[in-house]
Amino acid sequence: MQDNDWMFPRRLHTAEAEGSDERPEPQNFPIDPQFLRQRALRKQQLSPQPKSAAEPWSDFDRSIARSLPAFSDRMWTLGDTARWVIERTPEAVNGLSIDEERLFKILPDVHTALATGEVSVFANTNYNPIPCELPTETWSVYELVVEEQNGLIRIFPMCSSSSDYKQHLLNLRLRREHVLRRWPTRSSAPTPVQPTTTGAENQCRRWLVAMMKAAPTQPRPKAAVCKEALAKFQGLAKRGFDRAWSAAILEANAASWRAPGRRSRSIESPH
């Protein structure tokens, strides 16, 4: 089983490629119907596209964008993310074509953002259809690879120790807000916050969740935990810790950790 986040490599849609007998015409590319359903019926079928001497793939991108654009989706696929990182425009995310030469150049950066927790990613498996957030440790054993079939390409995670070339993590979705924060538009003013802050905040939240689940009714003083977290997670700010603290209480269902005031200590009775 595999995802169907397929894209059109633009090298197959140039005027030179279309004029060559060595490559099929774009309108003859087979499209997996499951892919179309998973993309919320963005396109029922691939119809013949008008040929443009400069960018023949752009007509198809515009057609897809008019159907159901993906830029406003709260969660993005790996393909959506890659197109954004490469071009930083809503039009690129809304389309389905990609510059595959630049794709190979940005994949290491995307992998790093996942491995550091700067971008949260969710997936399900064949044994668990419910999407779950993947821990950052996932990306120490999984890498992002590119597959090409029938003139289409896709990105998917593959276990580096696997020899069967099967996909075990399915339907990857990345938080759009994290992607936009990690790779802002080129015209955006530089942010004073270090790029590692988002990753540090996510790591801190997971650390806090584990701590709270281990002792849901025995909260530690927030000030002491904050001091420890700021020393533990490079790039974490006090406001980031506060956000992580509040989110962790909800995720761990540890309401006792929200109680104000100093934690009470038991007093031993004298002998």
Q: Is the pLDDT of residue 40 over 70?
A: no
Q: Is the pLDDT of residue 252 over 70?
A: yes
Please give the pLDDT value at position 244.
87
| 115 within 8 A of 139, measured Cβ to Cβ | yes
Please give the pLDDT value at position 251.
84
Q: Taking residues 141-163, what's their average pLDDT?
A: 86
Which pLDDT band, with edges at 50, 70 and 90, does 131 fall under?
very high
Structure tokens at 131: 């999407």
The SS3 call for residue 192 is coil
Query: Which phi and psi (to 5°) does residue 200 adopt?
Result: -65, -40
| % of the chain with per-residue pLDDT over 90 | 38
Nearest residue to 152 via CA among 34, 63, 28: 28
Q: Taking residues 22-29, what's their average pLDDT?
A: 40
> Which residues share a beta bridge with 132?
123
Side chain identity at 258, as an amino acid letter? R
- What is the average pLDDT score of the chain? 77
Please give the pLDDT value at position 3.
67
Please give the pLDDT value at position 13.
54
Which pLDDT band, with edges at 50, 70 and 90, does 26 fall under?
very low
Side chain identity at 240, as an amino acid letter? G
| 183 within 8 A of 87, measured Cβ to Cβ | no
| Separation between Cα atoms, residue 99 and residue 83, nearest integer Å | 8
Which pLDDT band, with edges at 50, 70 and 90, does 163 fall under?
low
The SS3 call for residue 236 is coil
Q: Taking residues 183-202, what's their average pLDDT?
A: 64
Does an H or E element contain 211, and which?
helix 197-214
This model's pTM is above 0.75: no
Please give the pLDDT value at position 165.
67
| Separation between Cα atoms, residue 44 and residue 46, nearest integer Å | 7
Query: Could you report how far apart the first and last alpha carbons of the chain are, in Å?
Result: 68
Q: Is the pLDDT of residue 189 over 80?
A: no
Q: Over the stretch 54-68, which tens digit does the pLDDT of each residue have?
A: 566 677 677 777 777
Please give the pLDDT value at position 116.
86
β pairing state of 8-9 and 97-98: parallel
| Separation between Cα atoms, residue 98 and residue 84, nearest integer Å | 10
| 78 within 8 A of 155, measured Cβ to Cβ | yes
Query: Look-up: residue for tokens 């540890």?
Result: 254
Find the Cα–Cα–Cα–Cα dihedral 176, 177, 181, 184, rounded to 10°: 60
Q: Over the stretch 96-126, which tens digit does the pLDDT of each residue have?
A: 899 988 999 999 999 999 988 889 999 999 8
